[in-house]
Amino acid sequence: MTSEERDRRVLALYERVLEIEQRLIPTGLHTFGKPAAAAETVHLLSMVASFPRPELGLPALTDLVASGLGLPPYDRLMEESQSSGERMRERESVESLTRETVRRLLSPGDQPERAAALWLRQRAGVAADSALEILSFLSRLNLRLQSNRELEGLVAALRGNYLPPGPGGDLLQNPAILPTGRNTHAVNPYAIPSALALRRAEPLTRALLERHQQETGRVPESIAMVLWGIDNIKKEGEAVAQVLWLLGVRPVRDGLNRVTEVEAIPLEQLGRPRIDVVMTVSGIFRDLFASTMELLDRAVKRVAALEEPPERNFVRKHVQQQMARGQSTFQEAATRVFSNAAGNYGTNVNFMVLQSQWEDARELGDLFVKRKCFAYGRDARGRPLEGMEAQALLDSALSRVEASYQNIDSTEVGISDVDHYFEYLGGVTKAVEERSGKRPRVYLSDSLTPHSRVRTLQETLQLESRTKVLNPKWYEGMLKHGFSGVAEIEHQLSNTFGWSATADAVEDWIYDEVAETFVLDSQMLERLQSLNPHSAQTLVGRLLEAAGRGFWSARPEVLRRLREVFAGLEDALEGVAP
Ligand code: BEZ
Ligand code: MG
């Protein structure tokens, strides 16, 4: 290895460690009516301060610090620190100055905002006026974080009194969600995607295609994308905007400023082929965004009808191929917006996995398709499809997919916190695998830092496991909640297992370390058992299932011990004397 190669690898490793260290994680469950713990606030507010807020006319504190030090903007430092040691040092000094400023801001004393601003001027040459604006924004945010009106809000709602409305979402993306305890509202479907969402979606779409290109040598012709309602509410339709970018169209607003049309971006301007997108949409999205479903359907059909060369318009290419086989009309071959039957929700893949009700993994993909094969949009005569059963069309659209993709939008809910990511993204991945004959690449985007990025499923699982279930800060935070905390630990493992079942994406070391941390460590096992013997037993049972189904090559002595522990837990639960 050359010394340059060695430096490059060390830097890459360092960047991974930093990524884990800096990741915001929940360090306990939220107790309704209780404000966030003050100890977490410095970290949280430093992260909030590293996003520019153009809507408030505020730059990012990190950018102010960087510019005070004569450095490029923070997101460029983050980008370039991946390949330059010097940039890495500069990035770290920006981060530590930012954190220290926030720490001073939150320290008790007279006029902490002024004191923090003066300190920052001395240390980084930042003009006190511009720092003060951001610091007072952070101070107000801190006050709202420390207050909590959830119980009052609940009581007012139960009494039938007026409850002031407020947006829902993630604090990093939208600080206006505070204070909590208000009546959470959604967004006007005709308003999405917003201009901001459109702007943010473009680099992520580019990163997604680049990632696929790096790994396979070319862009994917067809992508399966999961669309959820709640994240499109929180981010004003950023995922919808990503679909439009992939297709190479722009939303067009009418005289009332409603998004009701799309127009094609000329190929020369787009500079790459139009990508085919199969959308599997949640029931919540369908209910909330009927006009958006129609817009997306219209966008696909508009693109399919463009007279462009097949190698530059994959939508048209696939539609023409399907029509040439003689079984589909244009409208059928261009159907890409699928959801549940009207009135139905979810894929049920999560239930099948978590209740161990499957023998062959093919059943998981088949169930996904059975639940999601209802087409939305309009037919050739402009009549709404309203969830027309169309399994053959979904089968055929999925058979061409090369990559599956979804956004992660919140620091609080990642792909192993809930069973919904694997039921959707995992479910569609398994369905594609069976229909195309090949497991697609699986990607997730993450815009939880100012430097948005696209990761593979494996990378995301590594990061999630390291920062949550294998992180003492995370599991000790959960264990403070006793019974529910043990249940959360078990859910992390079970949802991770869901990614084995649907995409075989969990590496052995993750199961090894979960077994070591929670079962082979007898003190820990005792804690789990005394707090919540049911979840403890499910956890051990899930590890045995992972080994039994061939997802984990566990060492024989570990398996032996797991079986012993499982039997012991069962006896204890059934009241059998040891
Ligand atoms: C959503 O559409 O927001 C959603 C769907 C399924 C699970 C969780 C969220
Ligand atoms: Mg749920």
Per-residue tokens: 36: 């966030």
Mean pLDDT of 430-436: 98
Which pLDDT score is estimated for 277?
98
**CA–CA dist 90, 81 (Å, integer):** 8
Query: Model-level pTM?
Result: 0.94
Which pLDDT score is estimated for 10?
93
227 CA: nearest ligand 1 atom? 2
| In the chain, % of residues over pLDDT 70 | 99
Mean pLDDT of 360-385: 96
Task: Name the residue among 364, 494, 367 with its Cα closest to residue 430.
Answer: 364
Q: Does 229 contact ligand 1 (Cβ within 6 A)?
A: yes
Which protein residue's CA is at the shortest distance from atom 7 of ligand 1? 420
Q: Look at residue 491 and give its three-state secondary structure.
A: helix
Per-residue tokens: 561: 């011990």
CA 150 to ligand 2 center in whole angstroms = 22
Q: Which ligand is nearest to the CA of 424?
A: 1
CA 130 to ligand 1 center in whole angstroms = 40
285 CA: nearest ligand 1 atom? 2
Task: Name the residue among 518, 522, 447 with its Cα closest to residue 172.
Answer: 447
Substitution candidate for ligand 1 out of 184, 187, 235, 284 with most atoms within 8 A of CB: 284
CA 264 to ligand 2 center in whole angstroms = 38
Which pLDDT score is estimated for 541?
98
pLDDT tens digit string along 48-100? 999 998 888 999 999 999 999 999 999 999 989 988 999 999 999 999 999 99
Mean pLDDT for the chain? Answer: 95
CA 128 to ligand 1 center in whole angstroms = 44
CA 375 to ligand 1 center in whole angstroms = 18
Q: Does 425 contact ligand 1 (Cβ within 6 A)?
A: no
Which pLDDT score is estimated for 234?
87
pLDDT tens digit string along 267-288? 999 999 999 999 999 999 999 9
**123: exposed, middle or buried (C-beta count within 10 Å: 0-12, 13-18, 19+)?**
middle
Q: Does 284 contact ligand 1 (Cβ within 6 A)?
A: yes
Task: Name the residue among 105, 87, 95 with its Cα closest to residue 41.
Answer: 105
Q: Which ligand is nearest to the CA of 233?
A: 1
- C-alpha angle 236/20/212, rounded to 5°? 60
Q: Does 285 contact ligand 1 (Cβ within 6 A)?
A: yes
Task: Compute CA distances 29 → 44, 275, 448, 560, whole Å.
Answer: 16, 41, 20, 34
pLDDT tens digit string along 184-243? 888 899 999 999 899 999 999 999 999 999 999 999 999 999 999 998 998 889 999 999
CA 346 to ligand 1 center in whole angstroms = 8
pLDDT band with cut points at 50, 70 and 90 for residue 40? confident
284 CA: nearest ligand 1 atom? 2
Question: What are the phi and psi torsion angles at 380 (to 5°)?
Answer: -60, -25
420 CA: nearest ligand 1 atom? 7
CA 339 to ligand 1 center in whole angstroms = 12
Which protein residue's CA is at the shortest distance from atom 8 of ligand 1? 420
Q: Which ligand is nearest to the CA of 169?
A: 1
231 CA: nearest ligand 1 atom? 3
Q: Which ligand is nearest to the CA of 350?
A: 2
Q: Does 282 contact ligand 1 (Cβ within 6 A)?
A: yes
CA 248 to ligand 1 center in whole angstroms = 26
